Amino acid sequence: MTCASVLHFTERGIFCPAGEFYIDPWRPVDRALITHAHADHARWGHRHYLATHGTVPVMRHRLGDITAEAISYGEKRKIGDATVSFHPAGHVPGSAQIRVEVGGEVWVVSGDYKLGPDGLCEEFAPVRCHSFISECTFGLPVFRWQPQPLVAQQILDWWQANADEGRFSLLGAYSLGKAQRLLHMLRDGPGPILTHGAVENVNEVLRAQGLPLPDTIRVTPDLDVKGHKGALVIAPPSAFGSSWARRFGQASTGFASGWMQLRGVRRRRAMDRGFVVSDHADWPELHRAITETGAENIYVTHGYTDIFARHLNEAGFNAQVVPTEFGTDEDEAEDAA
Amino acid sequence: MKRFAALFTQLDQTTKTLRKTKILRAYFESAPDSDKLWAAALFSGRRPKRAVNTTRLREWAAEQADIPLWLFEDTYAIVGDLAETIALVLPPPNRADDHSLTDMIARLRSLSALDESERKPVILDLWDGLDQTERMVFNKLLTGGFRIGVSQKLMTRALAQAVGRDEAEIAHRLMGDWTPDSTTWHALIEAEDASADLSRPYPFALAYQLDDPPDSLGSLDDWQAEWKWDGIRGQLILREGQHFTWSRGEELMTDRFPELARATDFLPPGTVLDGEIVAWDGTAPLPFNDLQKRIGRKTVPKKLLKEAPVILLAYDLLEHQGQDMRDQPLAQRRATLDALLAALPEDAPVRASPLIHANSWDDLAAIRAKARDHRSEGLMLKHRESPYFVGRKKGDWWKWKLDPLTIDAVMIYAQAGHGRRANLFTDFTFAVRDGNALVPFTKAYSGLTDAEFRQITQWVRKNTTERFGPVRQVTPHHVFEIAFEGIQRSPRHKSGVALRFPRMARWRQDLSISDADTLDHLHDLLDRYG
């Protein structure tokens, strides 16, 4: 059995012929294994879903009535001639890398990932394999994240300064993952935290699974906003500039994303502040993750794939670019990052 | 450097003008005089000379970051800002130095006395004492590009507030040929004798685009109409037997337009004129293309002086007999100007830009419609009572331009933008149909909303057929209406034409490529308007 036959790259997505399943497919299929619940990975319309216990409830919340089965991290499952298992990816709560073994040949699909603990989601665990399919959203040497406590302090200082002026701090973040990570980072802040409905709905799903999130106040039409002056408000960036955001008056605006590392992107967002908080691996983390898999063949998907693959090849890996439809929505990719 | 880097960070952290003004004002109230002088210089486009070749800087940065040069270059292409890219890839510093801005600039300028090989250790050592933001600011000083979202107007206002002086006065003091070497904070901003500098121009008055119908301006009797010329806005200063020519961008262009020297033969000293520098065929302006040949050259060969001689079409008088005329109403300034220029011979390098008389707005509209026949872009409308104000002021002066020419074209190549638009596809090449072929004829970068750019970016990613470095060839599918101000024959372009100010007026999602215009149509436009 040759390497390439464990997983194939097809028009519908990453396919395993031995188990007749797809991983994060972008067209409807019979059987889909899902790395995490973000919209570009967990799409609507598959007949059967398999994902971690942390991912399935969020998928149900987002996709409605689906046929889904949950699996634990590390649990081995035989599908056809393939053996699959899910391993923590550290991207968002419940996110996984998917290991596929066929006849002793091991491939791992990373999904989206970051290294190190963020205090909330299961920490990335390296999985030895022959071939590793890695994202590289931030695969450029300008992307290096600062330690989480440092960034948390920057956001807290900003919040405090706004609170001192009696202004709201309106912080934009993707509603699944980034928003909850920020809640955790900012749990000891100088005031209450208000949340947009899209964020609070995910909070409820995650709290029901026992995730320790701090108390939040859902922004509803009849909420007495003025009574919460100086509060932090977490909302998806799409809510900014809408009538929803107007109730907060002259709020200071911020956005939390890995893209905020670049001044140009920060300026395009036209927010007061950009905080570099990413749920994707930075440049050093990508290299560490790839090295720790021990894989010889690296397939890089969404991000700066051409550049990153060339760099890996010069570093002695056998790297190739694989076209996928993950993160094709610019807005979403930036928000999720 | 810490104080100046902190200023940069604070300015960068807000998009609100009021807040920026406050931040800058606080800087001008607290920084040492020499630093304030440099800050005023930097924010008004007076940069220290580039001390190090940027190619070397890239090599040194890549070496320090331990990455190959190609990777640095590819990364730079995406980040879009060299100073920033270097700051982001360098390893963390080993020291935390704090030299003043003035001291840092002095160090930077002392580099030019060194051999290139001696410069490297100096730069590396300086980098090693600066944090990420300080490095970026320092690199910006080093590479000579210093645009950080602070307009000269905003800086002028903050400075005026900080020193408790009138904004217009500070704007005037900041004009002209000074550098931090040639003056001091006291002499530039505080000293009473502000007229010391012979070459100092007045701040230009600028006009807004007229979007409402002209009769919304009230009675035509209150307005003066002139042609709007497609040349270079210029101020000609005649003082004490010398002459100086300034562009609106505050560039001294005296040597570029030697023809204007003869103005001193015809006009008395103590005269300052505002007008348009145009290439002149004896009776009318030549197309902008001819003037373009003159712009890039510091010294002008004889042949070019003959082919494209320039004159100043004057439309305002700012100084007369050494007196500042700017507070007088336009009608009066214009009368004095006409009297001054009336006696000039035909071959003088200065002529009055003619006034246009009409009986009604409708008549004027009919005249405007013929602007292209006069090699003009449309009309200027100026209130007869208006003073010569500083900068842009709504209500007194209006540009009433002709509608642009347009053509429907097919997008065939796309390239990512820089800076604010990094990682969006914003630079497109457009083609017209020629039988079954598509002939590229122009590029355009602007005119779409951010949302539209995001949408087309997504589409480009999915519809790339081939890559040539950063350029992507895409499936011919989308049609855009390209608006432009003029069209010229150009042997340098495959299509044989060059457009002036092309931009995307509309994304014609309602059209398919078979609806796009043809090469014949393009040549037709060239015959009519070229």
- What is the separation, in whole angstroms, between the first and last Cα of chain A? 37
Specify if A316 maps to a domain.
Answer: yes
B458 contacts in chain A (CB < 8 Å): 328-330
Contact B275, B313 (CB under 8 A): yes
Question: Exposed, middle or buried, B181 (CB in 10 Å: 0-12/13-18/19+)?
Answer: exposed
Specify if B365 maps to a domain.
Answer: yes
**pLDDT score recorded for residue A18:** 96
Number of domains observed in the structure of chain B: 3
pLDDT of residue B469 exceeding 80: no
**pLDDT score recorded for residue A327:** 60
Please state, in angstroms and rounded to a whole number, the distance separating the CA atoms of residues A238 and A198: 11
Using the beta-carbon criterion (under 8 Å), do A263 and B81 form an inter-chain contact?
yes
Q: Is the pTM of this model over 0.90?
A: no
In angstroms, the separation between the Cα of residue B431 and the nearest Cα of chain A is 27
Between A142, A307, A328, which is nearest B89 by CB?
Answer: A142
| CATH classification of the domain holding A13 | 3.60.15.10
Give Cα B212 distance to the centre of its chain: 26
Say if residue A211 is in the same domain as residue A100. Answer: no
Catalytic (active site) residue B228: yes
Please state, in angstroms and rounded to a whole number, the distance separating the CA atoms of residues B273 and B336: 11
Rg (chain A; Cα; Å) = 20
Between B15, B65, B424, which is nearest A141 by CB?
Answer: B65
A263 contacts in chain B (CB < 8 Å): 12, 81, 84, 419
Contact status of B462 with chain A (Cβ, < 8 Å): yes
Which domain range does residue A99 map to?
Answer: 8-142+279-336
User: Closest by alpha carbon to B413, among B442, B389, B448, B433?
Assistant: B442
| CATH classification of the domain holding A233 | 3.40.50.10890
Say if residue A67 is in the same domain as residue A26. Answer: yes
Please state, in angstroms and rounded to a whole number, the distance separating the CA atoms of residues B59 and B75: 13
Specify if B133 maps to a domain.
Answer: yes
Say if residue B319 is in the same domain as residue B276. Answer: yes
User: Comparing B156-165, B186-195, B381-390, which segment has the lowest mean pLDDT?
Assistant: B186-195
Say if residue B136 is in the same domain as residue B228. Answer: no
Say if residue B364 is in the same domain as residue B409. Answer: no
Best of A27, A140, A308, A313 to disrupt the B interface by mutation (most B CBs within 10 Å)?
A: A140
Q: Stretch B93-111: mean pLDDT, rounded?
A: 92
B420 contacts in chain A (CB < 8 Å): 264-265, 267-268
Contact A51, A71 (CB under 8 A): yes
Number of domains observed in the structure of chain A: 2
Say if residue B298 is in the same domain as residue B435. Answer: no
Q: What is the pLDDT of residues A35-44, one digit of tens each?
A: 999 998 999 9
Between B68, B75, B462, which is nearest A314 by CB?
Answer: B68
Using the beta-carbon criterion (under 8 Å), do B67 and A141 form an inter-chain contact?
yes
In angstroms, the separation between the Cα of residue B452 and the nearest Cα of chain A is 12
Contact A235, A117 (CB under 8 A): no
Q: What is the pLDDT of residues A130-177, one digit of tens each?
A: 999 999 999 999 999 999 999 999 999 999 999 999 999 999 999 999
Contact B228, B380 (CB under 8 A): yes
Say if residue B397 is in the same domain as residue B520. Answer: no
Give Cα A93 distance to the centre of its chain: 9
For a pLDDT cut of 90, what percent of chain B falls above it? 58
Say if residue B37 is in the same domain as residue B107. Answer: yes
User: Closest by alpha carbon to B9, among B135, B120, B173, B168?
Assistant: B135
**What are the φ and ψ backbone dihedral angles of B222, each rounded to 5 degrees?**
-80, -5
Say if residue A251 is in the same domain as residue A161. Answer: yes
Specify if A1 maps to a domain.
Answer: no
Say if residue A23 is in the same domain as residue A137. Answer: yes
Which domain range does residue B499 map to?
Answer: 405-529
Say if residue B494 is in the same domain as residue B435. Answer: yes
Please state, in angstroms and rounded to a whole number, the distance separating the CA atoms of residues A96 and A34: 8
Best of A155, A159, A268, A283 to disrupt the B interface by mutation (most B CBs within 10 Å)?
A: A268
Contact A299, A132 (CB under 8 A): yes
- Where does the pLDDT of residue B175 fall: very low under 50, low under 70, confident under 90, or very high at 90 and above? confident
User: Closest by alpha carbon to B390, among B84, B128, B169?
Assistant: B169
Say if residue A234 is in the same domain as residue A293. Answer: no
Q: Which of residues 124-153 of B touch A (CB under 8 A)?
A: 149
**pLDDT score recorded for residue B419:** 63
Question: Exposed, middle or buried, B407 (CB in 10 Å: 0-12/13-18/19+)?
Answer: buried
Say if residue B309 is in the same domain as residue B456. Answer: no
**What are the φ and ψ backbone dihedral angles of B91, each rounded to 5 degrees?**
-65, 160
Between B68, B74, B423, which is nearest A265 by CB?
Answer: B423
In total, the C-beta contacts within 8 angstroms joining chain A to chain B are 70
In angstroms, the separation between the Cα of residue A14 and the nearest Cα of chain B is 18
Using the beta-carbon criterion (under 8 Å), do B75 and A141 form an inter-chain contact?
yes
Say if residue B337 is in the same domain as residue B373. Answer: yes
| Half-sphere exposure for A196 (CA within 13 Å, toward CB) | 26
Specify if A2 maps to a domain.
Answer: no
Q: What is the pLDDT of residues B268-302, one digit of tens each?
A: 999 999 999 999 988 889 888 788 888 777 778 88
| CATH classification of the domain holding B89 | 1.10.3260.10
Say if residue A70 is in the same domain as residue A193. Answer: no
| Last residue in a domain, options A237, A253, A275 | A275
- Residue of chain B minimizing CA distance to A264: B420
Q: Using CA atoms in the order B25, B27, B30, B31, what is the torsion angle rounded to 10 degrees?
A: -140
Q: Stretch A277-298: mean pLDDT, rounded?
A: 96
**pLDDT score recorded for residue A333:** 44
Between A141, A314, A328, which is nearest B458 by CB?
Answer: A328
| CATH classification of the domain holding B423 | 2.40.50.140
- What is the separation, in whole angstroms, between the first and last Cα of chain B? 53
Say if residue A41 is in the same domain as residue A78. Answer: yes
- Where does the pLDDT of residue B102 fall: very low under 50, low under 70, confident under 90, or very high at 90 and above? very high
**pLDDT score recorded for residue B162:** 96
User: Closest by alpha carbon to B98, among B129, B142, B60?
Assistant: B129
Say if residue A47 is in the same domain as residue A33. Answer: yes
- Residue of chain A minimizing CA distance to B450: A268
The interface predicted TM-score of the complex, written ipTM, equals 0.91
Contact A139, A286 (CB under 8 A): yes
Say if residue B361 is in the same domain as residue B469. Answer: no
Contact status of B450 with chain A (Cβ, < 8 Å): yes
Catalytic residue among B228, B298, B399, B462: B228
**pLDDT score recorded for residue B193:** 63
3-state helix, strand, coil in chain A (%, to 5): 30, 25, 45
Q: At what angle do helices B33-43 and B17-30 cross, to 10 degrees?
A: 150
Specify if A3 maps to a domain.
Answer: no
- Where does the pLDDT of residue A337 fall: very low under 50, low under 70, confident under 90, or very high at 90 and above? very low
**What are the φ and ψ backbone dihedral angles of A101, each rounded to 5 degrees?**
-120, 130
